[in-house]
Chain A
Amino acid sequence: MKKVLAIVMAMAMIFGLAACGSAEAGKDGDTVYVGIYEPQTGDNGAGGKQEILGIQYANSICPTVELGGKTYKVELVIADNESSNDKAVSAATKLISAGCSIALGSYGSGVSMAAADTFEEAGVPAMGISCTNALVTADNDIYFRICFIDPDQGTIDANLINSMGIKNVYVLSMLGEDYGSGLASYFQKEAERLGMTVTADSFPEGNSDFTSYLTNAKNAGAEAIFAPCSTGYAQQIIAQSAAMDFIVPLVAGDTWDSGVISDACAATGKDVQVYCSTFYAEGKDVEFEKALKDWINGDQDNLKNNAGSDELSAVTLLGYDAYMVAIEALKAADSADPKAVKEALPGVNYTGITGEIKFKEGGDADRHDAFIKTYSSETQTLVYYDLFSF
């Protein structure tokens, strides 16, 4: 009797959960689906959520698209890739089976690369928003992207440090992470070309104790640290270097453009020097930013997804542009068919909030600008921007 009861209860639980999952929307006659392939949990969860915010805001501004003389509602389908390469395929498959015309994302290059084959097989075009590793668009003709790439970003960061008159730099990235190790190697190449001494280390995933790495940097005589890694690790590096009183310029790539970093700088209570290269300078389009901030402040969930503040990250604005480019591609294709959208995408030329977006051969965006964001925390966080062109 007990056995039967146990089996019945287990079945009831399974069916209960399955019922929750199957509430997915079926294919509707007058709806176009745009997939969001982003991490919402894991190391890159914070960044992924900010990128989704931009897409959702754009969707609220432009909720419909006209195809073949008929107005379609655009619905967003979100799949969480959990910042993990082995979850990439199942997240991508979810979007494909939901009937998405195009997929946007992901934040984080590794997961984007891991899903490229899946998108390619299904013929659904994917558009990277802030994944900067050069290999994302290589070896496949399905991936496009709207941001600059790491060979350029690494060069900029190396030149930034060089312009401070620094000759000895410590490079720290996460072991096995495509974004961080890729950017670190491009940086190192350029830094060595510029005649700097480079010491490189990598830390294992899930590490939270950076004191010994920072001591390594100190002992190597480093005058600056280049640490392309996700924001969770960045919090630790900033806090621990301040606690050690080892205050040198901390430089990183676009992941560090986040409210998380300014909070971490402010929390140290010291005058830390943090720089990152990024896609957009706040203050470029004040009206748009104000509307976006009002939208974020208007909803508790949005505010929570933006790390509890209305400070804008460049990825949010890029997310906005990505959605708009996707809409342009749908219009140009005049169809919701993924194959038609893919054919139309290279021809799209759109001037967005972050600048002009057009695609080069191979799917990369033709971008020539990057901004350097400077965090400074004495009493409060001040942010400065510098423009670098390449």
Chain B
Amino acid sequence: MVEFLHNNLAYLINGISVGGQYALIAIGYTMVYGILRLINFAHGDVFMIAGLMVVYMSTVLPMWLTIVLTLIMTAVLGFFIERIAYRPLRSAPRMSVMISAIGVSYLLQNCALYFTGGLAQSFPSISFLTKPVNIWGTSVIMAKVITPFLTLILIFLLLFLIKKTKIGMAMRAVSKDFETSQLMGIRINLVISVTFIIGCLLAAIGSILYFTCYPSVQPTSGGMPGLKAFVAAVFGGIGSIPGAVIGAFIIGICENIIKGGASIFGIQTNGWTTFSDAFSFALLIVILMIKPTGLFGEKSTDKV
């Protein structure tokens, strides 16, 4: 057993780290859904734009400043997306907001396409994060080791914010009942802006960690991680933060076990890895069939 773990540690570490990165994106999906009942399709692209910001800013600025500015600018980007594309549609049918989100997603992708010329940009290496570390005979980079810990720290901070502060209480109230909380004098626009800012901030952190591990940024780079994070959020029960995090770790680890399946279980077949993505989505279908609200999802309380 110990030996089995030792041999396959690389898959596990990789799964946990990629799971942590998915979790940071998934929180953005799940919080926005919790409050606005909106699936923010542009979130994966915000993640990609954060990566591009680092690529371009690091050519002229020192790395610490690049990282700080990226976090700030991504949060600002999130704020403006909500302000310009979603807020005017606050009273419109939910479907219109969703279409607007798809529009923002394509807008961001096309802007990235224009600036990069469609070429993959090489992500700069952040010396602290790319330092090699040896864990029990497996060589990995620092970013992979700190990702799960950083993710957990950030989640606890976020949960503290939601459970213990005034703005957190307002967020919970808004997610329970949008109109009533408005009547109770909660400044709903402020709450929604804060939600978007937090979501984008976490996505930017996830982006830096993700692209440090996989250093190539393309206009479509946000697509797959965004989709996986969305799956994780649905898997854990959309609207639930712990659910999204646990869902993300499960998806990340399963995905890597499937990729390494032939080698882990000693099966002599070629082509097993073909199914790594299909598996994530098949898993989602199975979970939703058994538990339609996801692992931690609340029962739907739609009043007819």
Partner-B contacts on A (CB < 8 A): 40-42, 45-46, 49, 175, 199-204, 206-213, 215-216, 218-220, 231-232, 235-236, 239-240, 243-246, 260, 263-264, 267, 304-305, 307
- Least CB distance from A184 to B in Å reads 11
Are A220's CB and B263's CB within 8 A? yes
Return chain B residues, CB-CB under 8 Å to A204: 274, 276-277
Of the listed residues A211, A213, A218, A264, the one surrounded by the most CB atoms of chain B closer than 10 A to its CB is A211
Are B274's CB and A202's CB within 8 A? yes
Interface string of B262-274 (1 = CB under 8 A from A): 1100000011111
Check: B168 CB closer than 8 A to any chain A CB.
no
Return the contact of A212 from the options B125, B214, B260 (Cβ within 8 A): B260
Are A206's CB and B139's CB within 8 A? no
Check: B158 CB closer than 8 A to any chain A CB.
no
- Least CB distance from A248 to B in Å reads 14
Are A206's CB and B125's CB within 8 A? no
Query: Within the assembled complex, what's the spacing in Å between the Cα atoms of A246 and B134?
Result: 13
- Could you list 9 A-B pairs, sorted by A, with CB under 8 Å? A40-B118, A42-B118, A46-B119, A46-B120, A49-B117, A206-B223, A208-B216, A235-B216, A260-B122
> Provided the pairs A204-B277, A215-B10 are in contact, do residues A232 and B256 lie with their beta carbons within 8 angstroms?
no
Closest to B223 in A: A206
- Least CB distance from B253 to A in Å reads 11
Are B10's CB and A260's CB within 8 A? no
> Provided the pairs A46-B119, A202-B274, A231-B120 are in contact, do residues A213 and B259 lie with their beta carbons within 8 angstroms?
yes
Interface size class of B (residues with CB under 8 A): 35 or more
Chain A to chain B: the 5 pairs with minimum beta-carbon distance, closest first: A41-B118, A212-B259, A232-B120, A245-B139, A208-B214
Closest to A214 in B: B10
Are A245's CB and B132's CB within 8 A? yes
Query: Within the assembled complex, what's the spacing in Å between the Cα atoms of A216 and B10?
Result: 10
Are A45's CB and B122's CB within 8 A? no
Query: Within the assembled complex, what's the spacing in Å between the Cα atoms of A200 and B269?
Result: 9
Return chain A residues, CB-CB under 8 Å to B10: 211-212, 215, 218, 244
Query: Within the assembled complex, what's the spacing in Å between the Cα atoms of A53 and B114?
Result: 19
> Provided the pairs A231-B120, A263-B122, A267-B125 are in contact, do residues A236 and B224 lie with their beta carbons within 8 angstroms?
no
Closest to A220 in B: B263
Are A208's CB and B141's CB within 8 A? no
Return chain B residues, CB-CB under 8 Å to A231: 120
> Provided the pairs A220-B263, A243-B141, A267-B215 are in contact, do residues A212 and B120 lie with their beta carbons within 8 angstroms?
no
- Least CB distance from B268 to A in Å reads 9
- Least CB distance from B136 to A in Å reads 14
Return the contact of B132 from the options A175, A220, A243, A260 (Cβ within 8 A): A243
Are B273's CB and A203's CB within 8 A? yes
Return chain A residues, CB-CB under 8 Å to B221: 208
Return the contact of B214 from the options A46, A219, A236, A245 (Cβ within 8 A): A236
